[in-house]
Amino acid sequence: MSSMTETTSAANDERSRKLTAGISEGQLLEVSMGPHHPSTHGVFRMDVVLDGERVVKLKPVVGYLHRNHEKIGENNSYLASMPYTDRLDYLCSLTNNWAYALAVETLAGIDVPERAQYLRVITAELTRLQNHSSVIGFLVQDMGASGTPLMYAFREREKILDLFESLTGSRMMCNYMRFGGCRIDLPAGWLDRAKKVVAGFPQFLDEYENLLGTNEILMARTQGIGALSRELAINAGVTGPLLRASGVNYDIRKVDKYGIYDRFDFKVPLGDNGDVYDRYMIRILEMRESIKILDQAMCDIPPGPIMDPKAKIRGFRPKAGEAYGRIEAPKGELGFYLISDGSGNPYRYRVRPPSFVNLTVLEDMCIGNYIADTIAILGSIDIVLGEVDR
């Protein structure tokens, strides 16, 4: 990985040299964008070198939200790390829970009952819906469409967060999944409410496509901007909607078929150009596929237990060994790597965050574009700093 970044970094330096050839040092403007800049979605800084309005060099600076997540995980019991995973990508706590639970279940050899698998799929796909709807809202907000599109997206997101609250007790920090199942079963009437929300979602997507899908300003701002080539996307380890927008058919739900994803009929939408517009559309199309999965899962969910009887809450000590659990989080491949030495807390606890890895190609996409496009490109990567810095 490090050598790969070095190569792309060397290529970028070459491009910077070409762009600045014949320009004296005094003509270039160095701007420190962030860490307190509304477009950076948190505390993220970009050291940008500008020739006029054109970006000739860009270095992302991360670490402002570093809070020792991995070290805390190594000093806490396995269970106590679960609520901390909520706070990685704080928009998608349920998929974070799932990835961590999957890693621990692989480590300890715990099975997950049928009903809990369905609950996980339902909550994870609802998470994908609310993450994607808010990210497209944020993206157009960053490009200057302040208010309306973001508020429409938040109106829909709120309905899903209400579902999360009535199920898990918390809107965003759900802390719902456990090793071997889920914490609590669905409350009475929840499934009907969820079905209603999901049934109303395509209408919102149609509305959104009416609102922005053919908007000339949006197309001018996004089409052909920040194109990411297939080769670079694969070489840099980019995953998620960013990779699929570049035309690479790679979705861990299809590749790994973790959980029970092999039972559902859904497609993986792919982009052609890998520009900001493709990334925007990919998310809308992915939401439509998520709705298909949700329809199937909420129809088929069987009754039964939601926890593996072998799973222990207190005194959980998996045997020595190592495990990697990965899932397709809304932002890409989210993985947890755990090494157990047989004690109550992991010997090594490592997170493979999608946002952080996707951020490594930011400079490649931005060089040569205008500074205003940088913001659109950053918005289309969909980073959450809680996950980037950990």
Partner 1 sequence: MLGEGIVRGLAETARNFLGSFVSKERLTTVQFPEERLPQAEAARDFPFLVYDGEDWQAGMRCVACQICEKECPPKCIFIEKSKDKKPDALGRAQFYPARFDIDVSVCMSCQICVEVCPFEAIKMDTAFELSTDDRFGGLLWDRQKLALSDAHYHAIHPTDAAHTDELLAAEKAKAEARTKAAVAKASPAPMPQPPAPAAANEP
Distance between CA 253 and CA 329 in Å, rounded? 9
Per rule CB under 8 A, is residue 66 in the interface with partner 1? no
Judged by CB under 8 A, the residue of 46, 58, 82, 242 near partner 1 is: 82
Q: 7 or 203, CB closer to partner 1?
A: 203
33 vs 119, beta carbon nearer partner 1: 119
Say whether 273 sits in a helix, a strand or coil.
Answer: coil
119 and 182 Cβ atoms separated by less than 8 Å: yes
What are the b/e assignments for 103-139, b being 16+ CB within 10 Å?
bbbbbbebebbbbbbbbbbbbbbbbbbbbbbbbbbbb
* Residue 104 Cβ vs partner 1, minimum distance, rounded to whole Å: 15
Rule CB under 8 A: choose which of 46, 107, 212, 362 binds partner 1.
212
Give the total of residues touching partner 1 (CB under 8 A): 39
Which amino acid, one-letter code, is at 215? Answer: N
Question: Among 10, 80, 199, 320, which residue interacts with partner 1 (rule: CB under 8 A)?
Answer: 80
**Residue ranges in 116-155 that form contacts with partner 1 under rule CB under 8 A:** 148, 152, 155
Determine if 183 is a binding residue for partner 1 (CB under 8 A).
yes
| Shorter beta-carbon distance to partner 1: residue 96 or 374 | 96
CB 306 within 8 A of CB 284: no
Nearer to partner 1, 144 or 368 (CB): 144
Residue 196 near partner 1 by CB under 8 A: no
223 touching partner 1, by CB under 8 A = no
- Of 4 and 313, nearer to partner 1 (C-beta) is 313
**Is residue 265 within the footprint of partner 1 (CB under 8 A)?**
no
Least distance between partner 1 and beta carbon 169 (Å): 4
Asked if residues 61 and 94 have their Cβ atoms less than 8 Å apart, the reply is: no
191 binds partner 1 (CB under 8 A): no
Only segment of 84-92, 96-104, 328-336, 345-353 that touches partner 1 (CB under 8 A): 84-92
Helix, strand or coil for residue 386? helix
Where do we find the tokens 């805390």?
A: 72
Q: What is the DSSP letter of 383?
A: -
**Residue 365 interacts with partner 1 (CB under 8 A): yes or no:** no
Q: Should residue 313 be labelled a site residue for partner 1 when binding is judged by CB under 8 A?
A: yes
Residues 6 or more apart in contact with residue 250 via CB below 8 angstroms? 239, 243, 244
Q: Can you list the positions of beta strands (E) in the chain?
A: 29-33, 45-51, 54-61, 177-178, 181-182, 321-329, 332-340, 348-352
Instruction: Annotate 67-120 with DSSP letters as a single string.
Output: --HHHHHHHS-TGGGHHHHHTTSTT-HHHHHHHHHHHHHHHHT----HHHHHHH
224 binds partner 1 (CB under 8 A): no
Q: Is 175 in the site for partner 1 (CB under 8 A)?
A: yes
Say which DSSP state 211 is in.
Answer: I
Binding flag, residue 77, partner 1 (CB under 8 A): yes
Q: Taking CB under 8 A as the rule, does residue 210 contact partner 1? A: yes
Smallest distance, partner 1 to C-beta of residue 206, A? 10
Q: Is 28 in the site for partner 1 (CB under 8 A)?
A: no
Residue from 38, 63, 109, 187 touching partner 1 (CB under 8 A): that is: 187
Of 80, 102, 75, 69, nearest to 323 (Cα)?
102
- Residue 97 in the binding site for partner 1 (CB under 8 A): no
CB-wise, 161 or 260, nearer to partner 1?
161
Output 83 or 321, the one with its CB closest to partner 1.
83
Residue 60 one-letter amino acid: P
Can residue 314 be called a binding residue for partner 1 (CB under 8 A)?
yes
Q: Which residues contact 374 (CB under 8 A, 6 or more apart)?
A: 33, 46, 48, 55, 58, 366
What's the alpha-carbon Rg for the chain, to the nearest Å? 21
The reply to whether 215 sits near partner 1 by the rule CB under 8 A is yes
Which one of residues 81, 117, 345, 374 is an interface residue with partner 1 (CB under 8 A)?
Answer: 81
Nearest to 108 by CA among 335, 314, 328, 312: 312
Interacting residue ranges for partner 1, rule: CB under 8 A: 76-77, 79-84, 86-87, 148, 152, 155, 158, 162, 165-170, 173, 175, 183-184, 187, 207, 210-219, 313-314
